Amino acid sequence: MSNFTDLDAYLFGQGTHYDIYKKLGAHRGKQGKESGYYFDVWAPHASRVAVIGEFNDWDETRNYMQRVEPESHGIFETFIPNVKEGQLYKYLIYTEDGTKLYKADPYATYAEVRPGTASRIYDNTKFKWTDNAWMKQRKAAKNFWEQPLAIYEVHPGSWKRHPRPENDGFYSYKEFAHSLTEYVLDMGYTHVELMGIAEYPFDGSWGYQVTGYYAPTSRYGTPDDFMYLINYLHKNGIGVILDWVPAHFPKDAHGLADFDGRPLYEYPDPKKGEHPDWGTKIFNYGKPEVKNFLIGSALQWVEHYHIDGLRVDAVASMLYLDYGKKPGQWIPNEHGGNENLEAIEFFKHINTLIRGRNPGAVMIAEESTAWPKITGDVENGGLNFSYKWNMGWMHDFIDYMKLDPYFRKDNHNKMTFAMSYNEAERYILVLSHDEVVHLKGSMLAKMPGLEVDKYKNLMAGYAFMMGHPGKKLLFMGQEFAQGTEWSEARELDWYVLDNPNHRHVARMFKELLHIYRQYPAMYEQDVSWAGFEWINANDSYRSIFSFVRKAKNGKNNLLFVINMTPMKYDDYRVGVPENKRFRLLLDSENKEFGGEGGIIPETCTPIHEECDGREYSIGFSMAPYQIAIFVY
């Protein structure tokens, strides 16, 4: 009796076998009274396929696979008794011309630690989850865009390292779970976003050139260890988002490229199936079985591993046929345009499916162009992502913050422009790993001025980011102003926290995170002007920004005033929207943030004096680079 049924074959051929990861790959089973493992692989162009591994001494003739009826679907299967968990294996694929290919299992749940490239037998169905409360809460969540979302982007292999040499000094998933949870809870993030989880061969790719779309990387432990990490984070109220890379895959010999001797997972024409700049292959989004492979991967992470959302990498490269290509290197679509119509339909399908089957789970697009309706409904021509990374805001923000303060007055609009399109999508404001690599330097290194000014600049920038509409993401190390550029080969520079300047930035960002989570005004109405109001968007000469964030019920609204220059103003005055008491919530001049001591009264009562077009105003001394946040 075959493990892969006629119904499985039909659904797979339609691209709608949503539990395909339970069928293809290696799965525990029985034939008669014998226990063992079924092996199923899709290789339609192969002339013959065999399973080789530790259980048969890598004998290439002992375990040939049979084509499953109907043969046209190209599924090969065999059952091997007495296979033990943990044993290594590969598929030996004979191509049409007799060439031998030694391939890892595309659907493997576990892999050999690099530089090894074999798959590893593993039953990932044994873990006992205890995060029921979290999962019920996730399922019941409504209007997720009205909830706080502050993401800590983390690369597990370089967050912290052990001095011990074994396993390259990596923290295991379990060790990482405890250290990371303690830190995230203390800082006040709502979610972590994990880089480099799906198995990949080259450390320097950071996990963005994947060979194992169904396997948590073995660098840090087993799939059960990975589930322990997710379970532990959930039990402590922390959500988990995973980087997911359906845009391309590497050409490694053991991977997906030319899997059965011909292009299978990739488009056959190199003009459509390869990225010239990246040296990688592009998935064939028009082939049902390939779409099913990717959809199954996404569903496994969300449903089997309880992941709360996927950050989809390089969306723009999927949407545009000419992305990163010169004239003559790409093929127009059937209408003569540069849109990849198959990728567009793929996104509509997968986003609707993931979000429909898993209420509360989010799909996030890393999309760097002005493609419309990324987060729009499918019925209205949208792609139905939950959120879009706001790359435009990020570029403008960094361009502004890098400027000498003297020149900021001429670039004031870089900080205000994002509000002109804020209602177009549901955005996440991001300062990600991409901004602190490839000789771009750290966030601190981008700041102008002398040493102390750099830290104050960064604090002011973070305050603007946290106050601005949109959910938040910050890459690890930047919360304490790491001075060096990030590298995957070493741990973060935690030692800099011995320096008070770095501690001050960390305390400031922690305080901003806790304010963000405590006050609904900071997140409830991110996508509407009802939740935001400029007090003065045009104070370019002084480079001071003042604005209000509003709660739906009108209570505990927040007033932000941020000075982006080293100038002091003894008689600064700001207009206020209401004649009510304004209680000081945060003053960057407090000594805990490296200031000289608070200079703003704990409570400011407006006077009847026009300012910023308002009938009432409050006044106080404004220090260089000062941040003042009031609640009213």
CA nearest neighbour of 488 among 525, 453, 528, 436: 436
Which pLDDT band, with edges at 50, 70 and 90, does 166 fall under?
confident
Which pLDDT band, with edges at 50, 70 and 90, does 599 fall under?
confident
- The domain 529-631 having CATH identifier 3.40.50.12160: the answer here is no
Mean pLDDT comparison of 70-79, 141-150, 581-590, highest-scoring range: 581-590
Over residues 316-327, the pLDDT tens digits come to: 999 999 999 999
**Over 80: is that where the pLDDT of 167 sits?**
no
* Widest distance between CA atoms in the chain: 91
Over residues 214-236, the pLDDT tens digits come to: 999 999 999 999 999 999 999 99
* Least confident piece of the model among 347-351, 447-451, 501-505: 447-451
Q: Catalytic site residue 609?
A: no
Round to whole Å and give the CA distance between 278 and 470: 31
Residue of 313, 342, 479, 511 marked active site? 313
Mean pLDDT of 254-261: 98
Q: Catalytic site residue 334?
A: no
pTM here is: 0.96
Tell me if 6-120 shares its fold with 529-631: yes
Mean pLDDT of 237-260: 98
DSSP E strands in 387-437: the ranges are 387-389, 427-431
Over residues 20-55, the pLDDT tens digits come to: 999 999 999 999 899 999 999 999 999 999 999 999
Over residues 147-163, the pLDDT tens digits come to: 999 999 999 999 999 98
Which pLDDT band, with edges at 50, 70 and 90, does 1 fall under?
low
Count the Cβ atoms, other than its own, within 10 Å of residue 164.
9
Which pLDDT band, with edges at 50, 70 and 90, does 329 fall under?
very high
Q: Is 310 exposed, middle or buried (0-12, 13-18, 19+ CB in 10 A)?
A: buried
Round to whole Å and give the CA distance between 466 and 469: 8
Count the Cβ atoms, other than its own, within 10 Å of residue 324.
14
Over residues 498-529, the pLDDT tens digits come to: 999 999 999 999 999 999 999 999 999 999 99
Over residues 383-407, the pLDDT tens digits come to: 999 999 999 999 999 999 999 999 9
Residue of 366, 396, 491, 526 marked active site? 366
Task: Sketch the domain layout of the chain as residue ranges.
Answer: 6-120, 529-631
Non-local (6+) Cβ contacts of 234 within 8 A are 131, 134, 135, 240, 306
- The domain 6-120 having CATH identifier 3.50.50.60: the answer here is no
Asked if residues 225 and 215 have their Cβ atoms less than 8 Å apart, the reply is no
Phi, psi of 262 (to 5 degrees): -135, 160
- pLDDT at residue number 72: 73
Whose tokens are 């001394």? That residue is: 621
Mean pLDDT of 427-455: 95
Which pLDDT band, with edges at 50, 70 and 90, does 70 fall under?
confident
Non-local (6+) Cβ contacts of 290 within 8 A are 264, 265, 283, 284
Non-local (6+) Cβ contacts of 225 within 8 A are 172, 173, 174
Share of the chain above pLDDT 70, in %: 100
Which pLDDT band, with edges at 50, 70 and 90, does 597 fall under?
confident
